Chain A
């Protein structure tokens, strides 16, 4: 049938087109960063100075800023996310409280990052300023810790929703076997549920990390936009994403723009890397599930 052949061709073309789009993202990011790659080489990655005026461009301050904010926010988010997941997946598997909390969590995940940033700027920053005054440090209010706090609020829904699903996948008979041996909730969770769902929870954490390191707006609004290496967790800083948001439209020099695009290229590659690890973890989990 000619019509069917045409239709199948359309399907194939769409698939090929999608592949080309992804390839072209990679190629154009590379092309855009070429000037910067050629000029700075690998020194770009370890140079701790980012100075558009003197055309000195190094990634290090932003790598540090990104890693600090992502890791601190993950550490902050983890106990809360796991509590929420355990509450929804073990203690209240059904009923009003489950519905209400699930819905609220979903809502939390749906709030745009610019609103988190806005709220952070007008609510969290003044509070941080007061704390910093009490501690006797420079009261910027903005900085790494403020950004991490906002980020942790933003990633809690992701980690907890995935962890909850993973916990729900633990076979019921395993859990019941635990209870029938007289184990308490705490023991069942520690000895049965967590070991069984560990890799799935890890995948959730990985996804949370993926969101945190690429998150732009909320961070841009409360991190203080400083291009120097941070001295401590209260210092103003910039992440890879936030420096792009900050400087992209103001970059008049080609080398400046190209360096910003190179940061984008690294963000892209990092997101692929995280995806790749996630894929491996999930596949491993599938194998375990089949056993």
Chain B
């Protein structure tokens, strides 16, 4: 009798765990379903090639935001990738009190809420230049990307066996070339997937752009001027009272999700294909 109760408890427990896990995924499918349902119908050629129309008018597109998002990602990457990879090398090459502290600081930056990053970029760039700008948005996104790149570089290099370094030194190679031409390429898959994960993270970031990139209904490639972005379009149009604009927001959300999905697939491919065998 006691045995039965134990086994029943176990049976019930497993069922509950499975039930809860399935419930967890319901929102995911709801979100994806609604975005696809509302988003696909909003999308046509104009959506990618035209600028937005004023409220009330039909048609128009979000070319400004698509170009803007790409522009912001490029600025952020230029700022964050070389710097982040260098810091990552530093952390994996040098071990002392300073680098131990530095590792903690990297975690600190990763934990800073994105809205605070926005404030910082505002104080650093928007205030002195007296204008919202693509540059300030790029700086904010770059700051968000930085810890991801540093960590993935450091972790990728950490995994590389010491014997590789020996092989290089034994040929008379100097330290610089050993790091840049032997160690770094061997860690490339980890570093590249870190970079892609970083881009995946920032492409959907909205909060740090609210008062930096700000948004712009025209096409802009001047880093000193405001620029639009996909997540900003989603936010601004979703919060607007016009149903036509909501439709555009769904379309933008669909494109954003699609982009993230594609990046996710590329990351997996990169990890698999570029994986270096030792």
What is the interface of chain A, defined by CB distance below 8 A to chain B? 1, 3-4, 6-8, 10-12, 14-15, 17-19, 21-22, 24-25, 28-29, 31-32, 79-81, 83-84, 86-87, 91, 101, 104-108, 110-119, 121-123, 153, 156, 160, 184-187, 189, 210, 213-217, 221, 241, 244-245, 248-249, 260-261, 264, 267-268, 271-272, 274-275, 279
Contact = CB atoms under 8 A, between A and B. Distances in A.
A107 B18 CA distance: 19
Given A3-B176, A7-B175, A112 B206 contact: yes
Contact of A185 (B14, B31, B83): B14
A225 to B, nearest CB: 10
B17 A221 contact: no
A83 B20 contact: yes
Contact of A115 (B17, B35, B176, B264): B35
Contacts of A21: 109, 143
B102 interface: yes
A114 B119 contact: no
Interface stretch (B47-55, B57-65, B87-95): B87-95
Interface of B: 6-7, 9-10, 13-14, 16-21, 23-25, 27-28, 30-31, 34-35, 83, 86-87, 89-91, 93-94, 98-99, 101-102, 104-109, 111-116, 118-120, 122-124, 143, 146, 150, 174-176, 179, 200, 203-207, 210-211, 214, 231, 234-235, 238-239, 246, 249, 253, 256-257, 260-261, 264
A275 B108 contact: yes
B123 to A, nearest CB: 5
Contact of B204 (A14, A114, A122, A216): A114
B231 to A, nearest CB: 5
A202 B257 CA distance: 31
A80 B25 CA distance: 10
A83 B104 CA distance: 31
A123 B175 contact: no
- Identify the 3 closest CB pairs spanning chains A and B, nearest first: A112-B204, A214-B113, A83-B20
A7 B107 CA distance: 25
B114 A1 contact: no
A99 B246 CA distance: 35
A118 B238 contact: yes
A227 B80 CA distance: 37
Given A122-B34, A275-B108, A268 B235 contact: no
Contact of A11 (B35, B89, B124): B89
A257 to B, nearest CB: 9
B235 A116 contact: no
